[in-house]
Amino acid sequence: MIEVLVRNELPLPHDTKVVAYHPADYELARHVIQAIQSPWTAVLAKPPGPYPRKKVHAGRVEEFIQASLANPKWRGDGLEFDKV
């Protein structure tokens, strides 16, 4: 699951941890945290149950994130992750 936060609408504490259940997700989370210069940390954890990571979906998420990081004013492409 990916959640989108709107700046300053719900401030999260500096000690926020982003939990990833796959090494590629963990690396992507670390990349984003570093790119936005956030004090948060990413941790890799064993999933609490089955984690059916789909390569196509993960690729679309990565494309979305890369576009967003490349242009902070970009507001998306209409992709709704919960419908993929």
Domain presence at residue 25: yes
Token readout for 14 is 């500096």
Residue-number span of the structural domain to which 57 is assigned: 17-75
What letter does residue 83 receive in the DSSP assignment?
A: G
What's the total number of domains in the chain? 1
User: Rounded to the nearest 5°, which phi and psi values hold at 9?
Assistant: -80, -35
How does pLDDT run along the chain (84 residues), one tens digit per residue? 556 666 677 778 999 999 999 999 999 999 999 999 999 999 999 999 999 999 998 998 898 889 989 998 877 776 655 543
